[in-house]
Chains A and B, each alone.
Chain A
């Protein structure tokens, strides 16, 4: 039987709380059941004179249906006969049965007797909304998600209904619970697939959002950075605890031998030779091509050309390295340069050039949100898959070192003149780096057809804003805290479930202090292992989220914990300290990766074992 339908809305009322789509909207502790039900009616500003005539079971079901449909349901899409109700509970109308029986010894109450049938609650909801389609009431000992899934999807598949409210409405004395689901044929922005797992998750009050849509898996990874030109080289560098930071060798700049950076070893000519691209193309593009190709080859997706494939790539300054090269002679003599030589140095053209090399045509886009750019591109890629728009997304980012960024960070006075020391009390600032990192995200269906086990799944993600300052983090790390917390909620995990955090950890006093405070607040005293791999790769800006996503995926797959180099002195503000030794073969189920950027743009991703 083909399954049809999407859960486009849900409402749960239990334990004195009203939830819609997993978010709690109203709480009234201490009230007894009748008062609680009346308080919901008032709080949501409902107006329906029949409400006061209803018995408690009908009130409960009716309130849940009102909140379920409010602002969500497009009634005009349907004819009255298109919409039906399939409800259930364990004790039928027992609560009112008892009240009615108490009235029998005096004068039997017809107004109570009419409510001694459980399906009256469906009748009330039908009357309110003019729903005239099939309605039925079933009795089960416990919430039977499997039955509802089969029954309702059958009603939709056979066109008996176009939309259905289904669920559970139970009330006896002080025990009550309502969990209603709106099932429609078309998906909506916030809808999740209509499965018994999702019904159960919502029924159990696990965040509806966490049940969000199908899983997204990471099938391939690719990276190029100062510590290695591919995944294997990077792992070896970690194993030998060998940082990639050193003197500037490629860029012509006055900061040579003064400011250390983390350069990719290849010259532009070597990169051009490896990629087969012309040497006058941006270094960012060439780095991106190498890492993205490695990721796609690693994924080895069978029959890729038949799948809807996208490329979501991040960078912060596009082809700025080439703009700089153009600018020096042009400034001296503006007849010596043509503007057509720089028009395609914007961020998007880097993405387009890499996509061409990957032969990805279905979808491409560029994200540029400072240092969280490529974490956001992975986040966005996952949503494209979850919403059924694409089957495969190559997501990540690239950035080459440029004078523009080096000078810019230098004026902000956040560059360390020595090698950076993230999460050390005596940290002085960051070292800039360059590179590219991409993951290949695939849908559940594609994951099943792979010839190998995917690395992990992307189970959680969140983007929140610090709303504090353009380039500085708030003292409390509000944005960082919200991003980490939101990602945990999305993944339906507790802080204690996280085994390792790949910190943003730039090494600036401000970032590490804010991030540390946020970690302290969220993880309290049960700290997972943590480290900043920027102590190896430098801060690669628009590439960092992608590169660190690759490291995180590898950490889950191979049980790796990366060392935080040069850590010596415990930070005073926090009680935890980063890992200092490379470890492998650890039991790692969940890895969190943080990427926070200027503009207060904070993102956290969670990678989980399959």
Chain B
């Protein structure tokens, strides 16, 4: 099977517009999460990582969601040297709710229905950049971003495409915020993954892009070594009680990557900071015999960016591999899960070669992907 390299990337978040900016500020402990009072989004104040109000153009054919994707993809492909209009290049978009915010402001009509549809956005973006293939859109709850990387990996491994650009984005809207509030899933403080005092998520918005290719480009390119998806078959909004299904996805990923649990240098967990998610993840990590492996959650910096989360957190992780540095779990102070895991509390340095990125989402879905640093 063809090797799959990540030859370029971008994180476009309230913290920074390039991956480099994001990394610098993450290392400095800067978070995008702030307290907001915004009547358009919520009657009550809330913590979230949001772009400043005037960051996006209003009188354009592209919505905020699409502008985010365009900005992120533009920056990622800048120095990737791949031919966007080649028939061997394809775009994958991941998002949970895309342009759903339009429902809040526009009168419903069949035109609006079409405008909201994710494939309308993907088509506009494909036309903007000149992609010749119809983009693939994934909307698989909070694992969408990782699912995008796994799908892209398979398209290259199976020889269907040479280059796959995977981009994901989500925007915080009243729709999304009110929904998580109705679930009482929003924390009363900036989120505290795996912490004993955690009480819910902080939402975030952002976009991220990875450029996957069958050919390596840089001296060190991180490879996508494997990935797998599973379903809890237990509950549509609550995670598995045992973590066995996420653990199974991790084990399939390791098998595909030809790695043992001891080869994993760190895990970038989903770590949303809800009681149940973090508990389930800790169980899964234990089941996979990874309880001593350093684990972080980046939700304390970005909040939960939904369809972008898997991509943003994967990109930070692959740069951690490149720089031999693990980003700590902002907001974490004291372990608060019943089966202990080794949560990363401070910036550490080491010699790192392989990492895992995991995510779980509504609908009972779980995903894991393994990245590896291989000298080319």
Residues of A at the B interface (CB closer than 8 Å) are: 1, 80-81, 84-85, 90-92, 94, 97-98, 100-101, 104, 107-110, 113-120, 122-124, 126-127, 129-141, 144, 147, 150-151, 154, 160, 172
Contact = CB atoms under 8 A, between A and B. Distances in A.
A98 B100 CA distance: 9
Given A109-B182, A132-B248, A160 B228 contact: yes
Given A81-B230, A135-B363, A139-B139, A110 B119 contact: no
B228 A1 contact: no
Contacts of A123: 231, 236, 362-365
> 5 closest Cβ contacts across the A-B interface?
A123-B363, A113-B179, A139-B137, A108-B182, A134-B229
Interface in B300-334: none
Given A91-B113, A104-B174, A122-B231, A97 B103 contact: yes
B348 to A, nearest CB: 33
A110 B179 contact: yes
Interface of B: 96-98, 100, 103-104, 108, 113, 116-119, 122-123, 134, 136-141, 147, 151, 154, 158-160, 174-175, 178-183, 228-237, 245, 248, 252, 361-365
Contacts of A81: 230, 248
B232 A126 contact: yes
Interface of A is mostly: mixed
Nearest to B237: A114
Nearest to B306: A117
Contacts of A139: 117-119, 122, 137-139
Contacts of B118: 92, 139
Contacts of B154: 151, 154
Contact of B363 (A91, A122, A132): A122
Contacts of A116: 97, 100, 175, 179
A354 B35 CA distance: 90
B231 A147 contact: no
Contacts of B248: 81, 132
Given A98-B108, A124-B236, A119 B174 contact: no
B236 A138 contact: no
17 contacts: A85-B231, A97-B97, A97-B100, A97-B103, A100-B175, A108-B182, A109-B182, A116-B97, A118-B139, A119-B140, A119-B141, A122-B231, A122-B363, A122-B365, A123-B362, A123-B364, A134-B231
Contacts of B158: 1, 150, 154
B228 A132 contact: no
Given A110-B182, A123-B364, 12 more contacts: A115-B236, A119-B361, A120-B141, A120-B236, A120-B363, A131-B233, A136-B140, A136-B147, A137-B139, A138-B138, A141-B117, A141-B119
Contacts, number: 154
Contacts of B159: 1
Nearest to A91: B117
A117 B139 contact: yes
A120 B178 CA distance: 19
Nearest to A131: B233
Contacts of A92: 98, 117-118, 139
Contacts of B138: 136-139
A13 B245 CA distance: 31
Contacts of A147: 136
A120 B363 CA distance: 5
B141 A138 contact: no
Contacts of A131: 231, 233
Contacts of B235: 127
Contacts of A141: 117, 119, 123, 134
Contact of B136 (A107, A110, A138): A138
A134 B96 CA distance: 18
A172 B100 CA distance: 15
Contacts of A117: 96, 139, 141, 361-363
Nearest to B118: A139
A410 to B, nearest CB: 69
Nearest to A172: B113
Contacts of A135: 140, 229, 231, 363, 365
B230 A113 contact: no
Contact of B175 (A104, A129, A130): A104
Contacts of A104: 174-175, 178
Contacts of B365: 119, 122-123, 135
A110 B116 CA distance: 22
Contacts of B231: 84-85, 122-123, 126, 131-135
Contacts of A130: 233
B26 to A, nearest CB: 29
B29 to A, nearest CB: 33
B96 A126 contact: no
| Most chain B CB within a 10 A radius of its CB, from A98, A124, A141, A147 | A141
Contacts of B117: 90-92, 94, 139, 141
Contacts of B123: 141
Nearest to A104: B178
A506 to B, nearest CB: 57
A161 to B, nearest CB: 10
B230 A119 contact: no
Contacts of A151: 151, 154
B119 A132 contact: no
A123 to B, nearest CB: 3
Contacts of A150: 158, 160
Contacts of A138: 136-139
| Most chain A CB within a 10 A radius of its CB, from B151, B158, B365 | B365
A123 B245 CA distance: 13
B230 A133 contact: yes
| Most chain B CB within a 10 A radius of its CB, from A92, A124, A129 | A92
B201 to A, nearest CB: 14
A114 to B, nearest CB: 5
Contacts of A134: 228-231
B113 A127 contact: no
Nearest to A150: B160
Nearest to B234: A127
Contacts of B147: 136
A132 B137 contact: no
A151 to B, nearest CB: 8
Nearest to B248: A81
Contacts of A98: 103, 108
B228 to A, nearest CB: 7
| Most chain B CB within a 10 A radius of its CB, from A90, A139, A160 | A139
Contacts of A113: 178-180, 182-183
B306 to A, nearest CB: 10
A451 to B, nearest CB: 33
Given A1-B158, A108-B181, A127-B235, A114 B362 contact: yes
A80 B362 contact: no
| Most chain A CB within a 10 A radius of its CB, from B119, B231, B234, B248 | B231
Contact of B140 (A1, A133, A137): A137
A144 B97 CA distance: 21
A57 to B, nearest CB: 12
A127 B139 contact: no
A92 B183 CA distance: 21
A101 B230 contact: no
Contacts of A110: 179, 182-183
A131 to B, nearest CB: 6
A172 B103 CA distance: 14
Contacts of A94: 113, 116-117
Contacts of A101: 103-104, 175
B160 A1 contact: yes
A160 B1 CA distance: 15
Nearest to A142: B119
A206 B129 CA distance: 38
